[in-house]
Chain A
Amino acid sequence: GQSLEQPSEVTAVEGAIVQINCTYQTSGFYGLSWYQQHDGGAPTFLSYNALDGLEETGRFSSFLSRSDSYGYLLLQELQMKDSASYFCAVSNYGGSQGNLIFGKGTKLSVKP
């Protein structure tokens, strides 16, 4: 079977740093994506790792270790608007097809 595990909820304060972990077990793996979804909204792409290491995009960074089947999303300088659900998603095909298999999501609550 295919599974992605991530914490269901995380709470942090404004200005803090939070890390959301994701472990995966899938048949075929090309990369790990992260999506943000505000309540009532659509998923929005944040970041993608195909190779081991850290990818940085502004306040957000994502890390991948293929050997450990593990990745994380790091959010720095948290703002209230970062309160949302964050999903890791595996691409188990190469760039030519690429349906995404999503984790169950981590609900991040940012407190003042």
Chain B
Amino acid sequence: EPEVTQTPSHQVTQMGQEVILRCVPISNHLYFYWYRQILGQKVEFLVSFYNNEISEKSEIFDDQFSVERPDGSNFTLKIRSTKLEDSAMYFCASSERGRTYEQYFGPGTRLTVT
């Protein structure tokens, strides 16, 4: 069964450093998302991406964040200058056209900022 994959599974970085989180969505999906989940809390929407551009972004997704689809398979989230409060699990998700309520999540990247 096709699945969303994410790398790395765990990333430790120092405050102020740049990190890139990588995702490979399901191949026939057209909509891509990034969410984050601080330990023990709810899943929070960051950004959605369709047709090579951002469809929507939340208040969390400020100028420190950017997304890119550098090729036909990868989808990346970049945090330019990490802060302690960026420590969280970051999930990538993808969905088919017309079924965006049914999103397939990757296993997540645990980001720890020290």
Contacts and interface: CB of A to CB of B under 8 A. Distances in A.
B55 interface: yes
Interface residues of B, number: 27
B106 interface: yes
B103 A45 contact: yes
Interface residues of A, number: 27
B100 A96 contact: yes
Nearest to B92: A42
B68 interface: no
Given A41-B107, A42-B108, A43-B91, A95 B100 contact: yes
Interface in B19-61: 31, 33, 35, 41-45, 48, 50, 55-56, 58
Given A42-B91, A97-B55, A99-B56, A91 B100 contact: yes
B105 interface: yes
Nearest to A107: B40
Nearest to B47: A99
A48 B96 CA distance: 15
Interface of A: 30-31, 33, 35, 37, 41-45, 48, 50, 87, 89, 91, 93, 95-105
Interface of B: 31, 33, 35, 41-45, 48, 50, 55-56, 58, 91, 95, 97-108
